[in-house]
Amino acid sequence: MTSTASSLLVIYTGGTFGMVDSPYGLIPGHDIESRLRRTLATLPPARQAGLADFRLIATPTPIDSSAATPADWQRLAGLIAEHYADHAGIVVIHGTDTLAWTAASLAYQLQGLDRPVVITGAMQPLEAPGSDALTNVEAALRFAADPRLQEVAICFAGRLLRGARSRKWQAREADAFVSPNHPPLGEWVDDDAVLYPGRGLERAQRGAPRFELPDYAPLAAGAVPRIVLWPGLAAWQLEAWLLDDRVKGALLEVWGGGNVPDDPRLAGVLAQAVGEGKLLAAISQCPHGAVAIGHYAAGQALSDAGVLSGDDMTPEAAVAKLVHLLAQPLPDEERRRRFLTPLVGERAAP
């Protein structure tokens, strides 16, 4: 898709960024556009001049990101798709708790981007003393105006990270997000947005974005659980999760390079779930590095059961991908093939 649009679209969804003080603590604030423009006007004139014009849309009800579901991911992707062609880039202001989950989901739904979609937020409200909100949104606006960026990215604390490679890693600190297995796409250096060559997605061909916007509603209420193994996990516990008819797939977070307990009963539950057509995948509990299912004897049960390797994916990217694939009318083998295939740079190439 080619567009001559030069303005940006800012979508405000809620989160700490727009909150204000009250006698009961922080609460969602109103008039976010006037507040944002007033705060941007405090920047030095040269930095104000470097910002592209933007239009702002606020979702009807601010979302507390800790309560977000796949249905919210779907609505946001639909909103972006609706307005995408009219703007040179898009900035999404989002709560930080599940920001990385939303970023991963948007990456799968908005495949084939030919312009930036940059997600940001803040650990402190916009008007709070020493807030990180102004710095984050200024950098996000600058990166979103760079046509060389053609993917979903997170801009936070001076770094631009791939959306499908990122995690929230700090509960309080401003430097809240990391990308464990992929280097930053860019950084904010000397009041300038710098993209690093060779780190962004390279589109195989030009043309219209190949957006995939399936209906997530049937999966929004817990159909794809995330199960972190712990010492003493029993087969009946895994059975309670995986063999429930409401479960359509699951992410297993296993030990080290892809290990599970040597328990035939656990292996039997995994095999039964896969045999029922459920899409199971595994990643390591270690934030850095990848699983290699079957490399150790202790992980052979995963391979034998048909559990898919998530390689070096984050939990956020793996769960969002399972939801995305299960929401589409695909044959089981095609779902499995696509899970193992890098779609948006979310995992290492085979």
Give residue-wise pLDDT tens across range 66-105: 889 999 999 999 999 999 999 999 999 999 999 999 999 9
| Whether pLDDT at 256 is above 80 | yes
Q: How confident is residue 28, by pLDDT bands cut at 50, 70 and 90?
A: confident
Give dist(CA 305, CA 266) in Å, integer. 10
pLDDT of residue 206: 44
Residue 295 has which token pair?
């490399």
CA 4 from centre of chain: 28
Q: List the helix and strand counts (H, then E) for the chain.
A: 10, 16
For residue 34, give the nearest of 16, 13, 58 by alpha carbon. 58
From 19-23, 147-151, 249-253, the region with the lowest mean pLDDT: 19-23
Give dist(CA 24, CA 21) in Å, integer. 8
Q: What is the mean pLDDT of the chain?
A: 93
Q: Which residues contact 76 (CB under 8 A, 6 or more apart)?
A: 11, 13, 59, 92, 102, 106
Average pLDDT over residues 29-48: 95
pLDDT of residue 343: 95
Q: Which residues contact 297 (CB under 8 A, 6 or more apart)?
A: none
pLDDT of residue 305: 94
Give dist(CA 108, CA 214) in Å, integer. 11
Residue 28 has which token pair?
């969602």
Q: How confident is residue 4, by pLDDT bands cut at 50, 70 and 90?
A: very low
Q: Phi and psi for 181 in degrees, rounded to 5?
A: -120, 20
Residues carrying an active site annotation: 16
Q: Let me know how long the chain is.
A: 350
The pTM assigned to this predicted structure is 0.95
| Whether pLDDT at 199 is above 60 | yes
For residue 95, give the nearest of 136, 63, 139 by alpha carbon. 63
298: DSSP letter:
G
Average pLDDT over residues 275-304: 89
pLDDT of residue 205: 44
pLDDT of residue 208: 58
- How many C-beta neighbours within 10 Å does residue 146 have? 19
Residue 118 has which token pair?
């940059």
Give dist(CA 70, CA 295) in Å, integer. 34
